[in-house]
Amino acid sequence: MLAGQRVAVFGLGYVGLPLIRSCLNAGFAVIGFDVDKGRVKSLRSGFSYVDDVSDIEIQEWLKGGFYPTSEVADLLDIDVFIICVPTPLTKAGGPDLSSVEASTKVIESCLTGIRESGKKPLVILESTTYPGTTEEVVRPILETNGLLVSEDFHLAFSPERIDPGNQRWTFENTPKVVGGLTKECGDAAEEFYAQVTKTIVRVKGLKEAEMAKLLENTYRHVNIALINEMAKISHELGIDIWDVIRAAETKPFGFQAFRPSAGVGGHCIPIDPNYLSHRVKTELGLPFRFIELAQEVNSSMPSYVVVRLRDLLNLNGLSVNGAQILVVGVTYKPNIADTRDSPAIGVIRNLLKSGANVFFLDPLIPEFKVDGQAIPSSQSPNAPTKYDAAVILQAHETFSYKGMSPLSDCWLDASSAKSLSTGPEYSRI
């Protein structure tokens, strides 16, 4: 695979755009494909909607070989197809592969047209899913009209490892796991990625690469649940869990610190482990108890935050019902303008059901809705100048407790930040 050849990236989101950056830097011409015409229009106009990619970068990309499109007809003479589309959960809790399947069908139509040229394009799935997806779902679609893997195209899986907002670990310096359906497929994928990232980690095959991603996020899911449950128990026992963590993390081996929070959110932890749990249940008929318990604990945290907030209000002779409450930081992680599956949704939903008047404060999010209901901003004309209570869910770097403290005399910090402040009016979960 030589720089200067053409790469098509399917899915122009938080995974696809950083990948495109690396491909362009390596000298590839890149077609960005997305069915969301609004995204395509924004990119063509030089505007980014992803935190980790600036408008200036997009404008430079457009000058340097990047072409965003929603038209299949623009996918001509492609050497590498990479699928980075979302894989959410269905209402039944299983993986929704509709975007992967739709992208694969488009690629199949392109491969049929390329076949006569004698090229052997490389197809890579990066979207997170259950072990077996690439071979059992993607491969049959690609072979629908008689094309054969290894003869007409190569097929590989390489899990995305993008951490939005992380400036230290980028696409280029994060080791890239690669697995192919055959040795030749793996070789082709390794050769390609070696030009866009520094370290390649080759695994035996597709399923090993698919499982590696699920192991990474299940590990985090389970350990976050562990510390969240320990936080609940420690509070009941009168133990400061934060002091416990501070002591435990001084051990130079055998321990990694996780910190309590209002729950998990975003594109990975609340979703990815469920792919594995679903696969184990449907294929083996067995429960994956660690994942199910972790999901149960982490899903309970928004309700627990409201319970703690209610207790603090009670100490001040107030009820949640009718209270003016400020929710600070509504994104799913600090310093990122992304609210997907944010714990703030569950916290605010529970507060509203309890009769509270809820306002939010987040410099990264101009508007926020819960179950279709617009939550007023602390900047709105009818917002109180002082709240009965305030709860911090995400501690953005721009936040200063000292600067926010006049907003309330009762604060609950439910973020995973090490510390914003201490004081008689300031509590932690």
Question: What residues are annotated to the active site?
Answer: 268
**SS3 at position 70:** coil
- Tell me the backbone φ, ψ of residue 6, rounded to 5 degrees: -105, 130
DSSP string, 371-403: TTEEPPBTTSTT--SSBSEEEES---TT--HHH
Under 8 Å between Cβ of 221 and 298: yes
Distance between CA atoms of 176 and 193, rounded to whole angstroms? 8
- The Cβ-side half-sphere exposure at 77, using a 13 Å CA radius, reads 5
Instruction: Find where tokens 């660690």 sit.
Output: 290
What is the layout of strands, in order, in the sheet containing 176-180?
66-69, 29-33, 6-10, 80-83, 122-125, 154-157, 176-180, 200-202
Under 8 Å between Cβ of 419 and 349: no
Q: Which residues of 23-38 are buried (b: 16+ CB within 10 A; e: fewer)?
A: bbebebbbbbbbeeee
Sequence-distant (6+) residues with CB within 8 A of 9 are 16, 19, 20, 23, 30, 31, 32, 33, 82, 84
Distance between CA atoms of 416 and 261, rounded to whole angstroms? 5
* 255 secondary structure, DSSP code: -
Distance between CA atoms of 57 and 39, rounded to whole angstroms? 15
Which burial class, exposed, middle or buried, applies to 182 when counting CB atoms under 10 A from its CB (0-12, 13-18, 19+)?
A: middle
3-state helix, strand, coil in the chain (%, to 5): 40, 15, 45
Under 8 Å between Cβ of 65 and 43: no
Distance between CA atoms of 172 and 166, rounded to whole angstroms? 12
- Tell me the backbone φ, ψ of residue 42, rounded to 5 degrees: -60, -45
First to last CA, the chain: 52
105, containing H or E segment: helix 98-114
